[in-house]
Structure 1
């Protein structure tokens, strides 16, 4: 077998091995307050280190449709930090490290709990490579309630004050009416007793001499 044929076969069979890309992810990550931290590790066996990469976070076990993209971004080895915004309020921050991309995904809700896959692409140098990770279950806990902002608290405080003022006035008026009724009743009872007392005047007996019991023997 000639040397040229061996070289051709080696280039044809060995280059795919030399330029391999493998992506791994953790099995499960639990979010806190709508935010999760996820890392996508990659192992590149090419002759040159990747200089430009693209990472895309897909939601779901299968599929690569655009509506399944949580976020995507391209970056170089000189640009180690990136931040992008996905659909709705989902935001992704990324930090490129040796052989891994650290992702922080925020703006998630309880119904966003699902399997998420990292897709890493080597854009430069050639050849172009693209590989999916095994997927990570992102469990997003549902928050019991959002903290009330100052505007809402102020509005509620104003509403409570506006309700309390009429109630306080009504209570004060009721108390005054009760006190007045009791006072009138007491005055009326005093006047009744005074009239009865004046009506019962002790009668002074007057002796007209017709009955003289003094000389009775």
Structure 2
């Protein structure tokens, strides 16, 4: 037997197995307070569950530009994991028959994107690898968590204006008080200076056209 038919025979045995590994993901998932739960269901062609799986979560609109968020392996002895992913994301995973449940936390509004589940069958052979169709993870921006840059600048500007006005009022008050005190002092001094003088009384006996003064 030549080698060519043998090669085609081997490919015919392995290609159906390769194509039989499939991943199913939900179309859309909405997060809550920066956390989202995503499940990746998989169909393995073997009679038994894989003894070792590696699960990787990717982010990106196009598969060519996708970025790895987090990854970990599952075995019969370790069916859960928790890792620190890229940026501030944290991933927790739980393995169930035909399914991997992922919980991603530490997400923000700008993390809204398509996320792909990638599963690799590490053992038993043959080695298999495939990707899901992607899930749109929508992460609502939490109100009050962070203000937009323009709003923060506006608030800082209003605070600066208020502080400047308060300082101007305080300075004006400190300048007016000495002036008022000086004026009151002058008035009191004048009252003391002229308080002991007896006013002149005009007397007229009628004989002259002018009066006598005492």
Q: TM-score normalized by structure 2?
A: 0.66
Q: What corresponds to 1:152 in structure 2?
A: none
Q: Is the 8 A contact 2:18 2:128 kept in 1?
A: no
Q: What corresponds to 1:211 in structure 2?
A: none
Q: What corresponds to 1:84 in structure 2?
A: 83
Structure 2 gap ranges (5+): 1-8, 148-162, 206-214
Q: C-alpha root-mean-square deviation of aligned residues, in Å? A: 4.1
The C-alpha deviation readout for 1:36-67, integer Å capped at 9, x for no partner, is 221111222312211111111112243256x6
1:24 and 1:139 mapped to 2: Cα distance?
18
Structure 1 gap ranges (5+): 1-8, 149-162, 207-217
Q: What corresponds to 2:46 in structure 1?
A: 46
Aligned ranges for residues 155-174 of structure 1 at < 5 Å? 173-174=174-175
Name which one, 1 or 2, has greater alpha-carbon Rg. Answer: 1
Please report how far the alpha carbon of residue 137 of structure 1 lies from its aligned counterpart in structure 2 after TM superposition: 0.3
Q: What corresponds to 1:177 in structure 2?
A: 178
Q: What corresponds to 1:102 in structure 2?
A: 101
1:132 and 1:15 mapped to 2: Cα distance?
16
Inter-CA distance 102–181: structure 2 relative to 1 (3 Å threshold): farther
Q: What corresponds to 1:138 in structure 2?
A: 137
Asked whether 1:72 is paired with 2:80, we answer no
Q: Is the 8 A contact 1:18 1:46 kept in 2?
A: no
1:64 and 1:147 mapped to 2: Cα distance?
32
Q: TM-score normalized by structure 1?
A: 0.65
1:111 and 1:34 mapped to 2: Cα distance?
11
